[in-house]
Amino acid sequence: MRITEDYLKSIIDSTLLKPSAIPKDVELLCDEAVMIGFGAVCIRPDDVNYSSMLLHGTDVAVCTVVGFPWGIQKIKSKINEAYDAVCDGATEIDMVLNRAYLKSQDYSMLETEIKSVTNNAKNCVHAKDDVIVKVILETDKLTDDEIIEACKISEQAGADFVKTSTGAYGGATEHHVKLMKQSCNLEVKASGGIRDWDDAYKMIMAGATRLGTSGGANILKTYHNAIRLGSYVI
């Protein structure tokens, strides 16, 4: 598979979720995303309205997180969080699932949670575009069997993507991305620890069609270096 520069840019969700981030950091993130041509920015819920304003009229999507970072909120709270984010201008929601439901094999509750958030986000009357929902599994904290089950349930619940990690623990691995891709018909977002072209290439080859990273500019820089050195030819 040959990966063009335009394709690589389009699948990067340039991420800023640090609790200490200030509005100037959000401005820089959005400016960089527009200048480079990233597919989306992924920011904190409180930054959605401002980011939507900054990115109005561009091709950069606004993504935010729900239930971040542990996924332990009540289902109603996650529904409200997703609804508010869409009202503020988000067109992509990355929701952290409740691992307790998965670990206790309460699959009915897990499906209810994912379906409730997904349906309310997608059917929000204030949505500015079709809403994409990604379910964050936190693969580093799950067994392979649990990952497979979570992927199947996410698909049944109507999600669009499954995502590896929040970045709070271990990051994405080739094994987990491949397993997720094989377990369902959803797209896969790899997130956590993707810092350069070598990392990105491995995730794409494993099946990821989105990359969540704060190192998008460096990924592009090292991509160009690989082409210049002849270690990667497009």
Q: Phi first, then psi: what are they for 91, rounded to 5°?
A: -115, 0
The DSSP letter of residue 9 is: H
112, two tokens: 């209810």
Contact 54, 30 (CB under 8 A): yes
Residues 6+ apart with CB under 8 A from 51: 26, 29, 30, 41, 43, 62, 89
Catalytic residue list: 94, 163, 189
The residues near 106 (Cβ < 8 Å, ≥ 6 apart) are: 100
Residue positions counted in the chain: 234
